[in-house]
Structure 1
Amino acid sequence: MNLLEYMRRRNKMTLSEWEDTFEKKEREIIVLRHEGGGGSLRNGFWERDEYFLAYVDCETGELHKEEGRIEFPVIDKEEPPFQFEEETIYKLRVHEKLPEEVPEGALPSKNHFLVVDILEANAVCPELEEMLIEYRKPVVLQDDILGDLTYDKLLKSFEGSIDWLGGKVHLSLSVDKDNKSGITKAKKLLKTMVLEQEKWDADLREFAAGKLTKLACEWAESDEEAAKITEESFAKKISLKLLWVTAGGSFTAYLDDDELFFGHSIAVSGSPKKGLLSADIEG
Structure 2
Amino acid sequence: MSVQTDFEKEFETEEYEMLILVQSSCKGAVNIKDMLKPFVDFLASIDLRTGQFFHEKGRVEWLIKNDNKRNGWGYKFEQFGIYRVTVRKCIPQKLLPYQLQYINNRYMLINVLEENASNEKLEALKEYYSKPISIENELASFAIDREFSWFEGIVNWNGVEVNAYLETDEEDGDTAKQAMKVLKKVLDNIVENDTKYREFAAQELTELANEWMDASDEIDAEEITKEIFMKRMEMSEIIVSSDGSLSLFFNDDDMFWGHAIEIEVKPNGKIISANIAG
Say which is worse superposed, 265-274 or 163-172, in terms of deviation. Answer: 265-274
Show the 5 A alignment for 1:119-268: 119-144=113-138, 146-175=139-168, 177-178=170-171, 183-220=176-213, 224-227=220-223, 229-268=224-263
1:115 aligned to 2:105? Answer: no
Q: 2:37 aligns with which of 41, 47, 51?
A: 47
Whether the 8 Å contact between 2:91 and 2:104 is mirrored in structure 1 is no
* 1:89-115 deviation per Cα after TM superposition (whole angstroms, max 9, x unaligned): 112223333334456655564333333
Whether the 8 Å contact between 2:24 and 2:77 is mirrored in structure 1 is no
Deviation at 1:194, TM superposition (A): 0.7
* 1:176-211 deviation per Cα after TM superposition (whole angstroms, max 9, x unaligned): 55488x944322221111111121222223333333
CA distance in 2, matches of 1:98, 1:91: 21
For residue 225 of structure 1, give the secondary structure of its aligned residue in structure 2: coil
Whether the 8 Å contact between 1:92 and 1:116 is mirrored in structure 2 is yes
For residue 29 of structure 1, give the secondary structure of its aligned residue in structure 2: strand
| CA RMSD after TM alignment | 3.1
Q: 2:24 aligns with which of 18, 25, 35?
A: 35
TM-score, normalised with respect to structure 1: 0.79
Structure 1 alignment gaps of length 5 or more: 1-11
CA distance in 1, matches of 2:171, 2:97: 26
Deviation at 1:19, TM superposition (A): 2.5
AA aligned opposite 1:127: K
The change in CA–CA distance for 1:215 and 1:183 in structure 2 (over 3 A counts) is: same
The residue that corresponds to 2:60 in the other structure is 70
Deviation at 1:17, TM superposition (A): 4.6
Structure having the higher Rg: 1
Q: Percent identity?
A: 29
Whether the 8 Å contact between 2:160 and 2:235 is mirrored in structure 1 is no
The residue that corresponds to 1:277 in the other structure is 272
AA aligned opposite 1:84: F
* 1:12-69 deviation per Cα after TM superposition (whole angstroms, max 9, x unaligned): 7642353244333332222112215553445764433222221122232222111212
AA aligned opposite 1:96: K
The change in CA–CA distance for 1:164 and 1:215 in structure 2 (over 3 A counts) is: same
Structure 2 alignment gaps of length 5 or more: none
TM-score, normalised with respect to structure 2: 0.80
Whether the 8 Å contact between 1:151 and 1:177 is mirrored in structure 2 is no
CA distance in 2, matches of 1:48, 1:115: 10
The change in CA–CA distance for 1:90 and 1:179 in structure 2 (over 3 A counts) is: closer
The residue that corresponds to 1:58 in the other structure is 48
